[in-house]
Structure 1
Amino acid sequence: MPPTCTRGEELGLPEVADLPDAVLQDPVRLRSAGMRKGRDGCRVPMPWGTTGPSYGFGTGSPWLPQPPSFGALSVDAQREDPDSTLHLYRPAVRLRRAAGADGRLVWNERADPRLLDFTSGTLRCLVNASTDDVSLDAAGTPALSSSPLPTSPDVLPPDTVIWYTGP
Structure 2
Amino acid sequence: MKTATVTELKRELKHCSQEELLELCLQLSKFKKENKELLTYKLFEESNEENFIEGIKNEVEELFSLINVKSYHYIKKSVRKILRLIKKYIRYSKKKETEVELLIHFCIQLKEMKPSYNKNISLINIYNRQIITIKKVITTLHEDLQYDYNLELTQLTK
TM-score range, shorter chain: under 0.3
* Larger strand share, 1 or 2: 1
Q: Which has the higher contact order (CA 8 A, sep 6+)?
A: 2
More helix by share: 2
TM-score (normalised: structure 2):
0.24
User: Please, what TM-score do these two structures have when normalized by structure 1?
Assistant: 0.23
